[in-house]
Structure 1
Amino acid sequence: MALVLRRIFDEYHRYMTEYRDTRSVELPLVGSPWPVITIVAVYLYIVLKAGPKYMEHRKAFDLKEVIRVYNAVQVIANGVLFVAIAYLLSLRSNFSYICQPVNYGRTREGYEEMFMSYCYFLLKVLDLADTVFFILRKKHSHVSFLHVYHHALMVMITYLAFIFIPGGHAVMLGVWNTLVHAVMYFYYFLASYGNQYSIWWKKHLTRLQLMQFIHLGLHFGIPALFGIDCGFPRFWLWIGFLQAVFILTMFLDFYFKSYVRNRKSSRKA
């Protein structure tokens, strides 16, 4: 057993030495995997066990003002990052939307991509607060498998993507996700005031999310399926493609149950 563990450790150290982007080693939370593993483990423990048990015999907390501030912060943070990434892409005439390699250079463009990727990773960590708010407000029905899976996995995947492929073809994920989250948290902000158009917003927000995963599936799938080689790791193309297809399937199921089936039922009634 000791030999097996030693072999795993040696392989891990070799892989990290050969492939990890050394420019980000000194940044908070990403120098080693343990901070991220700890964050995700604590998150899962709180939202799946400790949180529900703690709230079992307590009244729901009134967090309306706290959540409004949180939503506003998310709108601003995601909106600013979306504009920043889109602006940087607009300046690069050589950026390929078919297959774009990662710029690992210690140049201005290389550090810009790395910094944007780091900011995106931090936003995924901030997203974990969503589920904690649900638990404290006793909105347990909102803590679905899709919700918890998506939040926990996104932190892990964005961490790994950041230390190995900070930018390149994966930039489009940041563009789409920051746009969708800016709109989504703006919807949450409006809904907290009982906005009369909140139902309209929710339906079209779901459609925007579907568009996101359809495009990301194509974005990662085309170079993966057709063997287009630009230097971007094939492994990460497949990860992006399969993840987009999986989440798209779950969102399609949600959309059908929430809007298509309900609309048919209301017509029959």
Structure 2
Amino acid sequence: MAEINPFSLSGTQYSQHWPSLVSPDYWLNQGFILATGQPKSAWRWSPGATFLSTQRVVLTGVVAYLAMVFGGQIIMKKVAKPIRLKRITQAHNLILTLISGFLLLAFMEQCLPAWRDKGFFFTICGSESWTQSMEVLYYLNYLTKWLEFVDTVLLVLKKKKLEFLHYYHHSLTMVLCFEELLGRVSVAWIICSINLLVHVIMYYYYFLASCGKRVWWKEVVTTLQIVQFVVDLGLCYFCLYTHITFHAVVPLPSIGADCRGTRLAAYYGCVLLSSYLLLFVQFFIKTYIKGEKGGHLGFRAMNYDELKSKKVEKTE
């Protein structure tokens, strides 16, 4: 049980590594106690019993999401004006900014000490790196992918044209997070952490934009997403290769160690992230280099001439 004093310099939970006041693990534990009457350490991921933990539910969610996208667009064509839920949009973006930031810090609290004490390879491949505390974070991160479906609902109501990349990315990322939980893929902490960092920046941009603020760095977010997938793929292919060569019947160059996680989850992650990289690069070229006005992904082509003219007007 966690200590009562949130200002203490050390925790009594085995998974708490930071002072309670700034420890995500401490506050998560308090939240579990408040919501369930039990500490966080009592929670377990149980496929079929845990909320949203079956393949049928995931498949149903993807189908329902895509039906909302295409059905919603058909319905909104018959509506005269876009439905702009400004306050809800602002609240949604701010909430996801804060949640992403909190989960990012929570992953750092768990992974940085393991990296320091046992090395980087242990954190991405070690069989003992998948702990119950990490499983809680993976599950919470998975739940945020359902919450992010609201992004699309708001865009459909605004009668925005959606890029294929938008709904492809939203729907299959939720599936990816689910498969990582089932497959217990240790390297997932880096994929999640980088994604959360990008989402802190991205949803904060969305929040500012929904408040009517002109933000100059929206192109940077797309660039960060591309860098994210490059890093993710490098690590995922390394871990998959390490796992395959360790179990290969025919001797292959290997580091002589195994990587935790099922091959199905690893194959799915590598293929999906590869497609993300290709699609985001294509989107970047079309939007920022060619300057075409494509569908909505959250960013519009940056018109530098327009920005310069507006600066001139302000100075005059």
**Same fold? TM cut 0.5:** yes
Mapped to 2, the partners of 1:231 and 1:42 lie a distance apart of 32
Mapped to 1, the partners of 2:77 and 2:58 lie a distance apart of 28
Matched letter for residue 100 of structure 1: C
- Equivalent of 1:258, from 275, 281, 287? 287
Match of 1:78 in 2: 100
Relative to total residues, which structure has the larger helix share, 1 or 2? 1
TM-score of the two chains, using structure 1 as the length reference:
0.79
Match of 1:19 in 2: none
Q: Tell me the C-alpha RMSD between the 2 structures.
A: 2.4
Matched letter for residue 171 of structure 1: W
- Equivalent of 2:152, from 123, 128, 131? 131
Match of 1:158 in 2: 177
SS in 2 for 1:168: coil
- Whether the 8 Å CA contact 1:221–1:238 is kept in 2: the answer is no
Match of 1:100 in 2: 125
Match of 2:134 in 1: 113
SS in 2 for 1:242: helix
Say whether residues 1:240 and 2:269 are aligned partners: yes
- Whether the 8 Å CA contact 1:89–1:95 is kept in 2: the answer is no
Bigger drift between 40-49 and 209-218 goes to: 40-49
Match of 1:5 in 2: none
Give percent identity, aligned residues only.
28
Q: Deviations over 1:53-93 (max 9, x none)?
A: 22122121121111000001000101100111012111112
Q: Deviations over 1:98-137 (max 9, x none)?
A: 8414549xxxx71111101100100111111111111111
- Whether the 8 Å CA contact 2:179–2:265 is kept in 1: the answer is no
Going from structure 1 to structure 2, the CA distance change for 1:220 and 1:71 (only over 3 Å counts) comes to same
Please report how far the alpha carbon of residue 37 of structure 1 lies from its aligned counterpart in structure 2 after TM superposition.
Answer: 2.2
Please report how far the alpha carbon of residue 38 of structure 1 lies from its aligned counterpart in structure 2 after TM superposition.
Answer: 2.1
Match of 2:57 in 1: 35
Match of 1:10 in 2: none
Please report how far the alpha carbon of residue 95 of structure 1 lies from its aligned counterpart in structure 2 after TM superposition.
Answer: 4.9
Alignment of 1:166-245 (within 5 A): 167-196=185-214, 198=215, 200-225=216-241, 227=245, 229-245=258-274
Mapped to 2, the partners of 1:68 and 1:157 lie a distance apart of 27
Q: Which has the higher contact order (CA 8 A, sep 6+)?
A: 1
Please report how far the alpha carbon of residue 41 of structure 1 lies from its aligned counterpart in structure 2 after TM superposition.
Answer: 1.5
Match of 2:249 in 1: none
Going from structure 1 to structure 2, the CA distance change for 1:183 and 1:213 (only over 3 Å counts) comes to same
Matched letter for residue 51 of structure 2: P
5+ long unaligned stretches in structure 2: 1-43, 246-253, 292-300, 306-316
Say whether residues 1:88 and 2:139 are aligned partners: no
Mapped to 2, the partners of 1:64 and 1:29 lie a distance apart of 29
Mapped to 2, the partners of 1:88 and 1:192 lie a distance apart of 34
- Equivalent of 1:148, from 167, 171, 175? 167
Q: Deviations over 1:198-255 (max 9, x none)?
A: 2x22111111111100100101112334635334334433332222221111111111
Going from structure 1 to structure 2, the CA distance change for 1:185 and 1:36 (only over 3 Å counts) comes to same
Mapped to 2, the partners of 1:204 and 1:266 lie a distance apart of 14
SS in 2 for 1:230: coil
Say whether residues 1:45 and 2:55 are aligned partners: no
SS in 1 for 2:286: helix
TM-score of the two chains, using structure 2 as the length reference:
0.68
Going from structure 1 to structure 2, the CA distance change for 1:81 and 1:238 (only over 3 Å counts) comes to same
Mapped to 2, the partners of 1:79 and 1:258 lie a distance apart of 28
Which structure has the greater CA radius of gyration?
Answer: 2
Going from structure 1 to structure 2, the CA distance change for 1:114 and 1:103 (only over 3 Å counts) comes to farther
Report the count of equivalent residues.
234
